[in-house]
Amino acid sequence: LDAATGVPGEDGVRRRDFINIAAVSFAGVGAVAVIYPLISQMAPSADVLAESTTELDVGAIEPGQAIKAVFRKQPLFVRRLTPAEINAANGVAVSELRDPASLADRTKEGHGDMLVTMGVCTHLGCVPLGAAEGENKGEYGGYFCPCHGSHYDTAGRIRKGPAPLNLVVPEYQFTSDTVIVVG
């Protein structure tokens, strides 16, 4: 303070500014310290995600029906094929396919009617439409990708359009007659 007037001198003002700035800075650090653990809990680390599994009861899926689930943050399709769809898949010369694989290669023994694939087009990653969906214009009875027109057959194999590979069959196993664990 100025001894004569009682008003803060230049030094006093500077000191107050410093105290204000310091208080704001500490508040900022405090907020980051509180928020950071919350954010890091919300987003699972890549390691945790890579090891996560998805358990599904598929017993209620009727022939010709499919369910959509999520596996490691991506769409997953589980479809029970009809006898006609199985025949269609088996009626193709595997060696002539763009990404050769038989239906048996893509299903589990004893569960040849259950097709489990990622719901991610192998072209640029759109979500294909299933056979039961109204907008499906697929020519091979399986999945159709509306983004650039890739057609997948009833075994999820690429048959026409720009996608280079079949829909990916993730690692999975049946843990009972009706339950699968993906991952």
Cβ atoms of 102 and 94 within 8 Å: the answer is: yes
How many Å apart are CA 162 and CA 90, to the nearest integer?
23
| Distance from C-alpha of 23 to C-alpha of 17, rounded to nearest angstrom | 10
Degrees, nearest 5: CA angle 169-53-145: 35
| CB within 8 Å of 44: residues ≥ 6 apart | 52
Residue 162 in the binding site for ligand FES (CB under 6 A): yes
* Active-site entry in 111, 123, 148, 151: 148
Pick the binder of ligand FES from 67, 69, 147, 181 (CB under 6 A).
Answer: 147
Residue 145 as a binder of ligand FES (CB under 6 A): the answer is yes
- Number of shown-chain residues binding ligand FES (CB under 6 A): 13
User: Token pair 């090891």 is at which residue?
Assistant: 51
The least distance separating ligand FES from the CB of residue 121, rounded to whole angstroms, comes to 3
Quote the CA–CA distance of 114 and 65 in Å, as a whole number.
Answer: 10
Least distance in angstroms from the C-beta of 125 to ligand FES? 6
Site string for ligand FES, 104-143 (x = CB under 6 A): -----------------x-xxxx-----------------
148 flagged as catalytic: yes
Write out the catalytic residue numbers. Answer: 148
Q: Which residues bind ligand FES (CB under 6 A)?
A: 121, 123-126, 145, 147-150, 161-163
